[in-house]
Structures are given as C-alpha cells and as structure tokens.
Chain A
Amino acid sequence: MTAFLSQLSVIVLYASLAVYAAAFISFAMDVAGRAVKVRAASDVTSAVARRAESALAREAGAAGQAGSGHLATMTKTANEVHEHITDVNFSRSQTVGMALTVVALAFELVADVLRGIAAGRVPWSDMYEFSMTGTVLITIVFLIMAKRYNLRFLGVFITGLVLVLMGISVTRYYVAVVPLPPALQSYWLVIHVLVAMGATGFFALGFALSVAQLMQARRETQIREKMPVTLRFLETLPGSNVLENLAYRVNITGFILWTFTLIAGAIWAEKAWGNYWGWDTKEVWTFIIWVLYAGFIHARATRGWRGSRSAWLAIVGFGAVMFNFGIVNVFFHGLHSYSGL
C-alpha cells in the first residue's frame, strides 16, 4: 500500500510539474506581450505616465530629506501613476497562467497528501518532501497575495522557482518513504518545519518584489536622466515605491514566521537534545537569515537605506534562505542531518 501510494504520488507530481510548466509559459508570454503592448501604446499616454513618474521620482528624492508627511504624499502619487498604467495590466495569457497555477497547485497538493498518507505522517521529513511541501506553500502564498494585491505579474518568477526547485528535487533528492526516526517524532516537527516553509513562501515573494523594485527603480532613473529606457514591459507594473511597500509587507510577514521558527526550533532542540542553542550549522544559518532580515527591516526605516539599498538586503536574505535549504541541508554535517540523502 505504501509503495502504491507513493508511486501514485510521484505520478501526480509529474502531472503537476507539467501544468506548472504550462503556467510558466503562459506567464512568460504575458510579460513578452506587455513589452509589445507598451511599444504599441500611443506616445501620448506613455508621455503622460512618464511625466507623472518623473514627478514621483522627484518627490521621492525630496521625501528623503523631509518628514513623514511627504512620504504619504509619495505613496499617493505612486497610486495615481499606477492608475494611468493599469490599462495594459490584464492579458489573456496572464489569466490562463493563474488558472494553470491553481490546477498545478491542486495536483501538487494531492501528490503531497498521498505521500503523507503513504508514509503515515506529515510529508516533510526529507529533502524531497521539504521541496514538495515547501513549493506547495510558496504557490499558496503567491496565490493568496496575488489575489489581494494584484501580483500576478510575479507568476513567471514563482512558477519558474517551483519548477527549478522541484526539478532538482525529483532528479536528485528523491528517496523512498521511510518512517520517522525517533529524533523527529515530535509535534514540533509539524509546527517548526511547517512555519519555516511558510516563511520561505513569503520570503520568495518578497524577493521577487524586491527584484522588481530594483528593476523599476532603474527604469525610473533612466527616465529621470533622459536615458534610453530598457525593459519596456516594466511600464505596465507598479512603481518602485509601491513595490517597495509590498516587498516590505511580505517580508515582515516572513520575518514574523521566521522568528517563530527560530524560537520553536530552540524549544524543540531543548526537548530533543537538552540544549536550546548549540550553534549547529542549521542553527547558524537560521540565525544568519534572521539577522539579515532584521537588517532589512532597519534599513527600510533608515535614511539613506530606504529604497534600493534595503531591497538588496532582502535579496541577500533570500539568497541565504535558498542556501540554507539547498546547500546546508544537503552538504553540511550537523545534528540536523535529515535530508535523507
């Protein structure tokens, strides 16, 4: 029964990855289509938008020195600019991409649940399972946030990330279902690991937003300096300030969950090993990630750091998250050697 269910799980997972791939292509077509649309759009509208944008950029510069009143104005201006440019914001391929992502998620969720039933426990106790449940959560976080904040344009990144992670996982990390070793038989496995993966979902989205923010900031500079503008599709996306606010909101949610992960991990370590904190490699990396994101949060509130500099910190933070997941789990030795490899 175990073998049958776990094989079924793999088949469903492959189906899910095929649908993710289709979703990825759809989202990519959407982005490509935006570039075309922007070029086709009349010069009049884009000139209007650009004027407003550069007004925004000027104001953003001014707000650096002024108090919070200007900040608020800045956000307002960003909103207005955004309203100018939403007319190219919806495309059929994007809608198809979203629908396909939902289907892919449904398949992956089934695969994940089947794996859990096959094992008779939660499906997150080796690298293969971490990847599967982790990407399920990344997609769920994306879908929820995309619904709330119109972040569909990030679909190309999220489905791409899921495909890369699961591609590596299926080819390199697959292991047969095994029972839980005594060290993992704890409700803390359920809480600690699940919350960590949820945090990863938010950090992934925050990373994508910060990258988009940097690209957008670069474009805004190009416009301000009257340089030739590259990556025209960005014109259809929110301005860098809006993206920054969103990145902040998403990343602090991740940070709250990560703080909880860290504390829950310490409590579990105390229960399992008799020591909250032993600077085990995995603990070190959990700590590094936490400190990096604390740095990001401070940077956002610091003159001279808000904007692109703080975005870089969020990007480095997510780099550490991925390193912790993909490299530390697999190649570093320590008490947390649960990759199953």
Chain B
Amino acid sequence: MSLPSDHIDSTRPAPRLPAGQVTLGFRGWVRWFWRQLTSMHTAIFLLLLLAVAALPGSLIPQREADPNGVVQYQAAHPALTPILEKLQFFDVYTSVWFSAIYILLFISLIGCIIPRVKHHIDALRARPPRTPARLDRMPGYRTESIPAASLRGSQGAGDAIESATEVLRHAGYRTQFYADKHSISVSGERGYLRETGNLVFHIAIMAVLVAVGVGGGYGYSGEKIVMQGQTFVNTLVSYDSFNPGRFFTGERLSPYSLTLKDLAVRYETKNKAAIGQPLDYTAYVTARKPDGSQKADTVKVNTPLYIGGTNVYLLGNGYAPVITVRDPAGHVRYRQPVPFLPQDNNYTSIGVVKIADGLPAQVGIIGSFYPTAGASGGVPVSTFPGLRDPVLSLDVFKGDLGINDGVPRSVYTLDTNAMTQVSGPGVQQPAEQLRVGQTVKLPDGLGSVTFDGVKRYVSFTISHNPAQLWIFICSVFLVGGLLTALLVPRRRMWVKARQQRDGSVLLEYAGLARGDDPGLLAAVESITAAHRTALSGPAGPEPPAGPGGTRPAQPAPAPEVVGEES
C-alpha cells in the first residue's frame, strides 16, 4: 500500500465490493471499511464537511468567544434557543458533531500516512525504475546523434551513457543503469523531497493539533483588574477569573508580583475624523520575581510582558472613581477606588458601590462616570475618553442588598429587587451629581458621599501555555513541508543510447512528471544541453553534433505549457 487507491497516480484498483459476493466476513468488512476511510474521496468529503460544519459558528454567537452575544441572541430567539442548545450550536467547536468530523479526519489522515511513510522509505532505498522501451511517447522526447566520425577511440554508446549518468547525478538525480538487446540507458529520478514534504506537512498538521491540545490541557489563563498603585501577586486566589486547563495543577503558578505604577494613555486630538481615538496604552509596572529581583517594565497592547512562564497581556482599562461614604455622624464607612466598566468609546462608565454595614440601612449605589461630561440628545454621556471634566452621577438605593445569604454576587451589578430607590431617574430626588472633591448628603439621612478623585485601572489577562514553543516549531515544519511538497518537482529522466548501423550513436532523451511539474520540458532540454556539453567538452574541440546534427524529435516545445510571448 502506498498512495490511496483512488489517488490519480495510484496503480492499485479502487476498493470495490466484488460483485455478487455477499459475505465478506468480518475481517473483510473491517478491511473494506478501513480502505474507504483512508481513501482520497473520504478525505475530500470530510474536509468539505469540516468547512460546512465550521459555518454556523460564524453565524450564531459562540459561548466561548462571545458570551454576551449568546445571551442577547437567546433573548431575541426564545423559540429557537432550545433547539439550538440541543444541537450544541452555541458551542459549535466543542460540539459532538464537529469533534466527530475532525476526529474521523485524523483517523483517516493517520491511516493514509502510515502506509505512505513505509512506502516512501522503501522508495528512498529503491533504484529508479527501468527505462521505458519507447521513449518517444514520453514528454519532452528529443534525440541527438553523434556521427561515427566524431566517435574517437572507445567513445561509443557506453561512454555516452556514462557521461549522461554524470550529468543526471550532477542535476540531483538518483540514477540506475539499464541495458537491453538494442540499447543501453540510464534512468534517473529526482524530487523525493516532494513526497517527504507532503508527509512532513500532514504529520505537522497533527503535531500542531496535539501540541495545541497539550498546551490547553496543562496551561491556564486568568484575568485580573489592577488599580493604579495596586499589586497583583500571581496566586490562584488573586485572580478575578481563572480558566485552568483540564490537567492543570495549582503548583504551576510562579508567585511573581506586578505593581501597576501608572497607565499612560494617549488620545488623538488633532485629526478631526478621529478625535478621542486611543493612540497608545502603556502600563508601567514593577515586576518582582519570586527570587526577589525587581525590575521596572511595561505592558502594551501587542507587546505582552513575559514573566515567570506566563504572558501578561494588557487587554482592557478603565476608570476607578475613588468614593468615600460617611455615616450620618461623619465616620468613614467606605473608601476605595471602584472600577467602573466602560460602556462606549468615550468611557461613559458604570459601576456599583454596596455598603452593607455602618449606615442606617443597607445602601446600594449605581454610579455613572463621565470622564468628560457632556450630553447627547439630552442624555448625559462622555464626549472624550480623557479626564477633561470628570463627573460622577449616583442613583442611590436602600433596602436589602441580598448579599447576606452567602451567595456570591457580581461586584458589577446591583440587585435592586428588594431595594427602594431614593435618588435618580423615576424618583423625585434627582441623581446626585459630583465633581472631584465634592460631597453630597444622601437622602433620608443615610449619610454622605464624597468623590475624592479618579484612578485608572487595567485589566490584565495572564496566560501560561507550556506547548507554545512546540506549536511554533510544528508550524514551521508545516509551512516548510507544504512548500517542498508543492514546489519541488518530482520527475524521472531517461537517456538512452543506441549504436546505429552506420557507426553513429543515437541518443534519446525524455522525462516524466510525477505530479504537477511546469518545468519538465525545460528540464529535458537542459539535461540534453548539459550532456551535449559534457560529450563535446573533454573529447576535443569539435562538437559531436552541431546545430545541423541536432534533431529535435518534434517542434521545440515552448518552455511553458500555454505557449509563447507576443
């Protein structure tokens, strides 16, 4: 077994159930099935199926890439949702059917590759096959004749073939000498690298996927919001969210730490079409390794920081207004920077403050923050992402925060079911508007709120992938294999010499492409020319065959298949 039997160059018959044969036996069936699975038809079918199966994931939001999109989609299509859920259309790329297709493809690939590797190793050791009896049927066929007059000394057919062998070897052919009753010949073959490249390519595909799987299994990624001045220590508990791989064990975390000194942000201010567009984010950090060494460094978009076996990415940022809440007696009950989530490109942001103890009632505040306060159609919005005129607006609720039952709640949402609004839209008391340094008294004698200032925060994504280097190496093999497989021509070349009755020697040349080979005809031509030179070179000043002596067997083929230049 070598190429799949339905490969266009295969000499094996296609697998077919023998007509009339009803019982094939278990082993027969297994063998038949295996041949089907590893056939080229199946590979095409599975490849096309894979392409089609990948489609829905681009039309329907996917839980992994876009969880919010999934929620919105499900809300908009309540009737469709249960069916799509059942069919795993929100998790296409981990679904049973998608996995089934690529697993089948891999089995097919392995089944296809193993025999080809064996066959190729044999081919690498084998000699080029026997020269065809009739070369004139082969592409690029041409002849030359060495007149008897220029055959001096022992120079006959044998010598000509010897020098042809030399020429072929020189051009990278592996050669074999053959002789029959009428002629002697050399058969050459080159381009074994083509098949090597093909096999390397297919193996590399699998290797990449294995490496990706291993990397995902043993790696992890997590997210952490770090405020200006805060320090993040790389331990499990300090992550806001953490996604371990299936085989991940906690010991792999290297306990380095990062302190965010500053986040420098530049916005476009001149180009009218892009006012406020971010030009640069740079997080200045102090990185401390577990061994105590310490170093100032930066993290930028597109330039992650490599530390302790992890990459630290700067994927988000925002504002954290510093908010102080005092009880009616003036004692500070709450003071901290609160990370607000940006809602638009100008960083109109929303955040939540929850004060469970110390005030006359539990208080929840939904804050809106405008780094540059303005309005659009009567609705307050931020008009520039930088801090030109920061305003904090607060809707205040009192009642039950719903956090006493021990169920963890998001710090970014306020459950107002058991609360009453005391200020903001919908109640008489308007939202509290604050500029930096200002304080307002809360309604109902709840206390007061002060807007002390604004800090920036960054959202770091930290990931560890133990297979990163392997994935890269495999990809290099993949591309290299593909290039050799598609660009190295595999071809055979023959030179045959025949002693003519008149004492002259007739030389025949021809080649054969194995696979796509645009340069075959030119190659036959150049071998012919090189051989002519070799024959005439050391033999004497007189070329054995001048232009008159050369007789191309057919009109000289154009170098390219389609033809000629104007």
A interface residue numbers (CB < 8 A to B): 2, 67-69, 71-73, 75-76, 78-79, 82-83, 86, 89-90, 95, 147-151, 175-179, 181-183, 185-186, 188, 238, 242, 245-246, 248-249, 252, 255-256, 259-260, 263, 266-267, 270-281, 284-285, 287-288, 291-292, 294-295, 298-306, 313, 320, 328, 332-335
Contact = CB atoms under 8 A, between A and B. Distances in A.
A194 B57 CA distance: 26
Interface string B547-564: 000000001011011111
B57 A279 contact: yes
Interface string B489-513: 0000000000000000000000011
Contacts of B562: 82, 149-151, 238, 242, 246
A335 B10 CA distance: 45
B566 A90 contact: yes
B21 interface: no
B54 A302 contact: no
A183 B302 contact: yes
A178 B62 CA distance: 31
B62 A279 contact: yes
Interface in B455-471: 461, 463, 468, 471
B271 A179 contact: yes
A70 to B, nearest CB: 10
Given A179-B279, A182-B300, A305-B41, 12 more contacts: A71-B9, A73-B139, A151-B562, A176-B272, A176-B274, A181-B278, A182-B281, A272-B302, A273-B315, A298-B40, A298-B44, A302-B44
Contacts of A188: 302
Contact of A303 (B8, B302, B555): B8
A176 B270 CA distance: 13
Nearest to A63: B8
Contacts of B564: 86, 150
Contacts of A256: 479, 482-483, 486
B274 A274 contact: no
A78 B557 CA distance: 12
B65 A332 contact: no
Nearest to B215: A276
A79 B561 contact: yes
A98 to B, nearest CB: 9
12 contacts: A71-B8, A72-B138, A72-B512, A79-B558, A176-B271, A183-B301, A249-B516, A274-B313, A287-B54, A301-B40, A304-B41, A332-B58
B403 interface: no
Interface of B: 6-11, 14, 40-41, 43-44, 47-48, 50-51, 54-55, 57-58, 62, 64-66, 69, 92-93, 132, 137-139, 212, 221, 268, 271-274, 277-281, 300-304, 311, 313, 315, 461, 463, 468, 471-472, 475, 478-479, 482-483, 486, 512-514, 516, 518, 555, 557-558, 560-566
| SS of A interface (majority) | helix
Nearest to B515: A301
Contact of A263 (B8, B281, B475, B566): B475
A281 B57 CA distance: 7
Contacts of A285: 58
A252 B271 contact: no
A69 B566 contact: no
B47 to A, nearest CB: 4
Contacts of A273: 313, 315, 461
B274 A279 contact: no
Nearest to A294: B47
Contacts of A335: 65
A63 to B, nearest CB: 9
A276 B40 contact: no
Contact of B69 (A75, A284, A333): A333
B7 A291 contact: no
A267 B533 CA distance: 50
Given A150-B563, A280-B65, A288-B51, A67 B11 contact: yes
Contacts of A306: 8
Nearest to A284: B58
B57 A177 contact: no
Nearest to A306: B8
Contacts of B139: 72-73, 75-76
B313 A185 contact: no
B48 to A, nearest CB: 5
Nearest to B92: A279
A176 B273 contact: yes
B311 A288 contact: no
A186 B561 contact: no
A266 to B, nearest CB: 8
Most chain B CB inside 10 Å of its own CB: which residue of A147, A179, A333: A179
B14 A178 contact: no
B282 to A, nearest CB: 9
A292 B48 contact: yes
Contact of B271 (A73, A82, A177): A177
Question: 10 tightest CB-CB pairs across the interface, nearest first?
Answer: A176-B273, A178-B274, A182-B301, A302-B40, A284-B58, A295-B47, A274-B313, A291-B51, A186-B302, A281-B58
A255 B201 CA distance: 13
Given A73-B137, A182-B279, A274 B47 contact: no
Contact of A178 (B44, B47, B64, B271): B271
A148 B519 CA distance: 13
Contacts of B303: 271
Contacts of A78: 561
B304 to A, nearest CB: 7
B13 to A, nearest CB: 10
Contact of A288 (B54, B137, B221, B302): B54
A248 B471 contact: no
B516 A274 contact: no
Contact of A95 (B272, B311, B513, B566): B566
Contacts of A263: 475, 478-479
A276 B471 CA distance: 10
B57 A284 contact: yes
Given A68-B514, A298-B40, A175 B273 contact: yes
Nearest to B11: A67
A69 B512 contact: yes
B211 to A, nearest CB: 11
A284 B98 CA distance: 13
Contacts of B58: 281, 284-285, 288, 328, 332
Most chain B CB inside 10 Å of its own CB: which residue of A72, A178, A263, A280: A72
Contact of B302 (A185, A277, A298): A185
B277 A274 contact: no
Contacts of B272: 176
